[in-house]
Amino acid sequence: MQTDIYLIQRRNMVRFDLMGIESKRVLNAMLTVPRHLFIPHQQRKNAYKSEDVPISQFISTPPPLVVAKTIELLNLNGTEKVLEVGTGRGYQTALLAELAKEVYSIEIVPDIAKDAKRTLKLLNYKNVNLLIGDGFKGWEKHQPYDAILVMASVKTPPSPLLAQLAPKGRLVIPIGPPEEQSLVLYRKKDGKLHEEAVMPVHLKPMEGQATGHSWE
């Protein structure tokens, strides 16, 4: 019965909270992935609400609309290798796994990364690779990436991430201070980087080298 309730809530989330999302592939992924399993038990009643949901003392998962929009901007067709910076508890990682061929995801907080790994394994995702580390540096070993998604804000795009982006690749990242952030799409084309501000967002600052704050 509890599972049925979550399914109804998930359907309502897709129907009512994701207006403006045009990609059927993204909408189907949002309908497929059980968001509540990536949320702490005490917060699961809020899993499908159109708001931030705390997943630890200092970290929240963004509203479903923000998650859906960031992924839609990557324009995935199922053949891509994707780098995600900021695994969190793995919800967005699972969505990317539904939509891309390979997903490489980096999380700087060890305990959060372990929770993500546990849930992704429970749901039998085989195309996800996790790394505990500083996402500012990217994951050089598996470059280049067709798409890079960053879920923490920075002043400017980290140069290692730009270097690891494939020709014609897409980088989606929040740029700016907390009170003036914009979700920005960068596209590599003809050796140049093209920039497009898409929407205002409010995501936490990137940890590690970007701010000098490490969880290690």
Note the pLDDT tens digit of each residue in 120-151: 999 999 999 999 999 999 999 999 999 999 99
Q: Look at residue 185 and tell me if it is in a domain.
A: yes
Q: Look at residue 104 and tell me if it is in a domain.
A: yes
Report helix angle 91-99 to 64-74, nearest 10: 30
Strand partners, 195: 186
- CATH number assigned to the domain comprising residue 112: 3.40.50.150
Q: Look at residue 91 and tell me if it is in a domain.
A: yes
Q: Look at residue 101 and tell me if it is in a domain.
A: yes
Q: Look at residue 43 and tell me if it is in a domain.
A: no
| Cα–Cα distance measured from residue 12 to residue 21, given in angstroms and rounded to the nearest whole number | 14
Q: Look at residue 115 and tell me if it is in a domain.
A: yes
Chain centroid to Cα 130, Å, comes to 13
Q: Indicate the number of domains in the chain.
A: 1
| Cα–Cα distance measured from residue 190 to residue 107, given in angstroms and rounded to the nearest whole number | 31
Q: Look at residue 25 and tell me if it is in a domain.
A: no
Say what the pTM is.
Answer: 0.94
Report helix angle 2-12 to 24-32, nearest 10: 160
* Structural domain boundaries enclosing 130: 62-200
Strand partners, 200: 182
Here the tokens at position 179 are: 């009170």
pLDDT in tens, the chain (216 residues): 456 899 999 999 999 999 999 999 999 999 999 999 999 999 999 999 999 998 888 788 999 999 999 999 999 999 999 999 999 999 999 999 999 999 999 999 999 999 999 999 999 999 999 999 999 999 999 999 999 999 999 999 999 999 999 999 999 999 998 788 999 999 999 889 999 999 999 898 898 775 444 333
Note the pLDDT tens digit of each residue in 34-59: 999 999 999 999 999 999 998 888 78
- Identify whether the C-beta of residue 120 lies closer than 8 Å to the C-beta of residue 96: no
Chain centroid to Cα 103, Å, comes to 11
Q: Look at residue 145 and tell me if it is in a domain.
A: yes
